[in-house]
Chain A
Amino acid sequence: MMRHVVIAIVVILFGLVFARMVGGYVELSALRPLAEQYVTLAPVELGTPNIITGILITYRGFDTLGEVAVLFMVAASVGLLLKKDDAPAKAKAASTKAIPAKASATKPVVPKTAAARAAAARTAAAKANAGARGSAQTAVAVTSAKVAESAEDDETAPREASEIVRTGTEVLLPLIFTFGAYVIVNGHLSAGGGFQGGAIVASGVMLMLLARPGSALNVAMLSIIESFAGVFYVGLGILGLVLAGGFLDPRFLPIGTFGAFISAGAIPLISALLGIKVGAELSVIIDRFRS
């Protein structure tokens, strides 16, 4: 009860701060100087009808690169957090089972089924940490052994998706991917861009994984695609540094006619790379959470 009072006070104080901010806010009636600069210069200098894309990819291009790096880091750290989950649990599980069954560890085991592989992993891990372990750890190990086993059961029998989901996926998936590609490549002309399109593509991947829970996503392939997209992105940035005004300057390619599909220098290229990278990264993150 006491805690709720304290929390209520904190929230009310935040509310007061916010209320003062709202009360003191006057709606803008003209653009701020920097914004005016962007709005007047972006169509002329960059040839992008969509000024936000011009800002994201050129004027604040370095931020966008950093943002993509953050996404990459998240994909990596989620992988790290969720991949390591199995190993210690299995190792601990092994540590209890392996003391009586240590003799069998020397036998060569041919892994045929999932259960056999798990057993092999257990014995191998047991060999590895047959050193120190206390009685307190044993209790933890027993529970985690149970957990590991139940997890194995789940893995062997993934539940089928329903008829509606499967049929709906067949109809919708091409549409979603096409729409994602459209949003990515039209980022310089209309609302959209690499991030948005990449998110749409990743949502399609999510639908695919929901419809076929047993299927495996080719994470290695996606990682390679993503890495190459990142390398090309930085490469285009360096090309801008060499051939035009600075890092990530897209003007080393001709600006073309204003509003045409192939125009605005390298912005569509960078946008496409961004879309590929974000789509692949988000798909990898979704896949990591699936297990």
Chain B
Amino acid sequence: MTTGLPVSTILLITGFGLALIGIWGMLTHRNIMRIIIGFAVMDTGLHLVMVATGYITGGTAPILDGALSKADAARRAIDPIPSALVVTAIVIGLSVTAVMLAYAIRLYAAKKTLSIDAFTESKW
């Protein structure tokens, strides 16, 4: 099955599309939980973009085994650096989400609402 687009372009479009949906969600919604979900969606999209930039035409995972010999690796393996960086990015994204959720709990405890309109005093 072939589409006209290369694989990495499809992934880039998907990733950037998710990032746009996330930005839209973060900016339009007034509920803090939905804003956090928007951030998570954007984060996921950017991870996809990062992974996609490491793809090499016809490449395979950079794990040497029976299917990929040491001599072959330099020609057929994908770029491992973006994959390694995405692990870091995922962990940082998780950390940011966890702290945001903790703050959301605190804000809910303070005002009994998750609407961001209730917190105008800390707006500017």
Contact = CB atoms under 8 A, between A and B. Distances in A.
Does chain A bind chain B? yes
Interface of A: 4, 7, 10-11, 14-15, 18-19, 21-22, 25, 27-32, 34-36, 38-40, 43-44, 49-52, 55-56, 60, 63-64, 67, 70-71, 73-74, 77-78, 81-82, 85, 89, 143, 147, 190-191, 193, 195, 259, 285, 288-289
Interface string B82-100: 0110011011101100110
Contacts of A289: 98, 101-102, 105
B40 to A, nearest CB: 15
A43 to B, nearest CB: 5
B119 interface: no
B102 A82 contact: yes
Nearest to B86: A52
Interface residues of B, number: 49
Nearest to A278: B91
A25 B52 CA distance: 11
Contacts of A38: 80-81
Contacts of B61: 191
B39 interface: no
Interface in B11-25: 12-13, 16, 19-20, 23-24
B9 A25 contact: yes
B7 to A, nearest CB: 8
Contacts of B102: 77-78, 81-82, 288-289
Nearest to A44: B70
A156 B12 CA distance: 50
Given A14-B23, A35-B79, A35-B81, A71 B62 contact: no
